[in-house]
Amino acid sequence: MFTKILTRNFDQPDLHEMEVYEKLGGYRMIRQALRRHTPEEIVQMVQRSGLRGRGGAGFPTGIKWGFIPRNSDKPTYLCVNADESEPGTFKDRHIILHDPHQLLEGIMVSAYAIQSRRAFIYIRGEMAREAAILNDAIAQAEKKNYLGHRIFGEDFDLQIQVVRGAGAYICGEETGLLESIEGKRGQPRTKPPFPAVCGLYGCPTIINNVETLINVPHIVANGPEWFAAIGKDPRNTGPKLYGVSGQVKRPGVYEFDMTITLKELIYDVCGGLTENRALKGVIPGGSSVPILLPEEIDVAMDFDSLAARGTMLGSAGVVVIGEGTCMVRVARRVAQFYAFESCGQCPPCREGTAWLHKILQRIESGGGHPGELDLLAEICDNMKSHTICPLSDAAAMPIESYIRKYRAEFEEHLSRPGCACS
């Protein structure tokens, strides 16, 4: 039986008010961190906990923090990735809406660990309400000297600033995000150098996802061994938020350890599909990951089990698709998104995403030609592993999986106009 950790207080009224958060034990963990632990100890604890980034790639957080050069004469920055523009993903905004102080406390402990005195929360422009909630929480914290000079009366200064993006998906990619904060066009940078060494304004920078950071105070308070024991698998530790949407009876954000299976999530937690329709497929981790067929959903919702099934945990945005949905239409819509969001720097991505969209549009409207499914597969192949950032791969991989797994449906669309699904 899993007991909620990150979302345990989300039902409490007025949790965004400092007094409510503190009454429930809030801001104790940052005090403990500042008084009892050195920054290096916290980095080590996070390493030992096995925490992996919740933003998509699953990179071990403590290891990333360890890449910050010691004794640099430049300031170190912490950038919090709250862009959350991946279709099907809405867990981070859920955290911010319900419990902004938990995020601030996560930032405080993490900033102390990497010795960053300046943190930026980069939030997608459309999330105006969430940005206002964060700014209000920051103002409350500044008033009590929980932010600013010598926070909590200890020898550590910290400022947190909210930066609103302008709605570009590519600004969620960590180096696109840095460019955007610097006021430039959001185009990813070539790596190396990696941001931990040369990031924001050329200074050492850590970029972490919102959900990643709210785990950190719990690791400090309860110990890395406690965290590592959650989930039973040493490579997939700690609590995890899943955002489930699409044709399920009870969509929403749910917290479990990573032993929960996709099947349990859909049928036991979300009550199965609306109108009890049959399942056609599930996107387990946001629009950029390959789809799973109904017979593939008895799989643990962790990084490695999903990788072994040929897909990814990604952003843990689970999109449930029922029978009656046209997969050609799904493919065209996903391709349209990536064609629109490609930043255009790399020809395989710029041209590839545009071609995928054009061809799928033609197939959907009944004007496709025989051989175009193979052409799509070839374009997808050429889009992978040749670009500055992974958006190109992220556009190609789901399309490939739709064609491979629902090929008969695509072929049917080629042979006659219109769609048997609608």
Ligand X SMILES: Cc1cc2nc3c(=O)[nH]c(=O)nc-3n(C[C@H](O)[C@H](O)[C@H](O)COP(=O)(O)O)c2cc1C
Footprint of ligand X (CB under 6 A): 53-57, 59, 81, 83-86, 169-170, 172-174, 207-209, 212, 389-391
Interacting partner of 305 out of ligand SF4, ligand X, none (Cβ under 5 to 8 A depending on kind): none
Half-sphere exposure of 249 (CA within 13 A, CB side): 14
Question: What's the min distance (Å) between Cβ of 364 and ligand X?
Answer: 24
The nearest distance, CB 386 to ligand SF4, in angstroms, is 9
Contact window for ligand SF4 (CB under 6 A) among 20-28, 62-70, 79-87, 388-396: 388-396
* C-alpha to C-alpha distance for 138 and 140, rounded to whole angstroms: 5
Q: Which does 53 bind (CB under 5 to 8 A by kind): ligand X, ligand SF4, none?
A: ligand X
- Give min distance, CB of 85 to ligand SF4, in A: 12
For ligand X, the closer CB: 26 or 87:
87
26 makes contact with ligand SF4 (CB under 6 A): no
Per-residue contact track with ligand SF4, 167 to 186, x per CB under 6 A? ---x----------------
Backbone angles phi, psi at 174, to 5 degrees: -60, -35
**Would you give the binding string for ligand SF4 spanning residues 321-360, x where CB under 6 A is met?**
---------------------xxxxx--xx----------
172 binds, among ligand X, ligand SF4, none (CB under 5 to 8 A by kind): ligand X
143: which 2 tokens?
A: 């008033």
Sequence-distant (6+) residues with CB within 8 A of 412 are 420
Q: Which tokens in the block code for residue 28?
A: 């104790």
* Among ligand X, ligand SF4, none, partner that 344 touches (CB below 5 to 8 angstroms by kind): ligand SF4
212 binds, among ligand SF4, ligand X, none (CB under 5 to 8 A by kind): ligand X
- Within 8 A by CB and 6+ apart from 74, the residues are 202, 203, 204
Round to whole Å and give the CA distance between 350 and 354: 6
Q: Are strands 317-322 and 279-283 parallel, antiparallel or unpaired?
A: antiparallel
**148: its two tokens:** 């600013």
Query: How far is CA 73 from each of CA 33, 148, 422, rounded to the nearest angstrom?
Result: 24, 21, 63
Give the nearer residue to ligand X in terms of CB position, either 172 or 231.
172
Query: Cβ closer to ligand SF4: 280 or 357?
Result: 357
Least separation, in Å, of the C-beta of 110 and ligand X? 10
For residue 340, the minimal CB distance to ligand SF4 (Å) is 11
Tell me the three state secondary structure of residue 412: helix
Q: Does 382 bind ligand SF4 (CB under 6 A)?
A: no
Q: Are 65 and 113 in contact (CB under 8 A)?
A: yes
Picked from ligand SF4, ligand X, none, the partner binding residue 392 (CB below 5 to 8 A depending on kind) is: ligand SF4
Residues 300, 259 contacting (CB under 8 angstroms): yes
- 188 contributes a contact to ligand SF4 by CB under 6 A: yes
Q: Which residues pair with 78 in a beta bridge?
A: 119, 206
| Residue recorded with tokens 């497929």 | 281
Cβ proximity of 321 and 247 under 8 Å:
yes
- The conformation of residue 70, written as its DSSP 8-state character, comes to T
> Would you say 247 or 353 has its CB closer to ligand X?
353
| Nearest-approach distance from CB 340 to ligand X, in angstroms | 12
Does 115 sit near ligand SF4 (CB under 6 A)?
no
The residue among 51, 105, 33, 117 whose CA lies nearest residue 78 is 117
Minimum separation from the CB atom of position 52 to ligand X (A)? 8
